[in-house]
Amino acid sequence: MKRIKVNDNDNATIYVIATPIGNLNEINDRLIAALNEVEYILCEDTRVSSKLLNHLDIKNKKLESYHLHNEFEKIDKVLEKISEYRKIALMSDAGYPLLSDPGYELVKNAIEKDINIVVVNGSNALLPALVNSGFKTLPFTFIGFVPNKKSEAIEYLNNFKDCNHTIVLYESIHHLNKTLKNILDVFGDVEISISRELTKLNEEHIYGMTKELLEADLSLKGELVICLNNNVNRESASIDDDFIMEKVNELLNDKISKKDAIKKVSKQYGVEKNYVYNLVHK
């Protein structure tokens, strides 16, 4: 067992700092105070972090590149720097370190050495996209980036097929169609939301079924967060077809459109939307 009270010891400290994901108005006073307090900063990309520091008029900091490709080889050197400086900072280009960004191994090793880990709370893309999706927010699973190779992607996604709750992932614009096809192969034609350029001027949210989004051949720019509505009962036989039709007809009698009635019954009773759709249109 290990118990560390970060404000009640003289241990060295790593500030794990969440940086803005686009909108600089999200910078908070605690972020500024932490950056002013340290001399040594680990950055995913020193050029990106330098721009943020310049914007904040924070000068004379030693910046060191620390990313996914050199994380392991630099851990010992970083731990030595912590002994030298006593307080250092870890930053990603945008959002939280460790969430599809480097830092896990460093934090793990630091805890073993009784180094304080102080997370400076701030922006991330994961939670705004989840809230914007319109899907159930609890429970949810964040799975980061899906592997690029199809066989690996299918294997990875299959790990979450039966979790029956909302799934959130990051994706680049270059692999969007490929990932949507893989989602279709594993989960079927399910509801999806795509959020891009969160907090920025061109923020946009797109909602649709997997096939619908593939047919649209979307041309998008910016960083993407995909939410997948996996809140379904794939063994829908446990719900009688007559019961489903009864609930749909009740909504239709309340002057709700057929499309909205199908969507609402699908969500409320955990039946796949296309199953309800086919039942209604028999």
One domain, residues 91 and 178: no
Q: Which residue has better confidence, 143 or 271?
A: 143
What confidence tens digit (pLDDT) does each residue in 5-32 have? 888 888 999 999 999 998 999 999 999 9
Q: Give pLDDT, residue 233.
A: 55
Does 8 map to a domain? no
- Residue range(s) defining the domain that contains residue 101: 13-120
One domain, residues 114 and 19: yes
H/E segment holding residue 89: strand 87-91
| Identity of the residue numbered 232 | V
Instruction: Decide if pLDDT at 158 tops 50.
Output: yes
Does 2 map to a domain? no
Does 6 map to a domain? no
Classify 164 in phi/psi space as left (phi over 0), alpha (psi -120 to 50) or beta.
left
One domain, residues 179 and 258: no
Nearest to 80 by CA among 43, 40, 119, 50: 40
Number of domains present in the structure of the chain: 3
Cβ neighbours around 114 below 10 Å, total: 11
Report which DSSP code applies to 239: S
Question: What is the CATH classification number for the domain harbouring 115?
Answer: 3.40.1010.10
> Helix/strand/coil (H, E, C) string of 96-154?
CCCCCCCCHHHHHHHHHCCCEEEEECCCCCHHHHHHHHCCCCCCEEEEEECCCCHHHHH
One domain, residues 53 and 135: no
One domain, residues 174 and 255: no
Nearest to 125 by CA among 145, 108, 139: 145
Give every CB contact of residue 270 below 8 A, 6+ residues apart in sequence. 164, 231, 232, 233, 236, 239
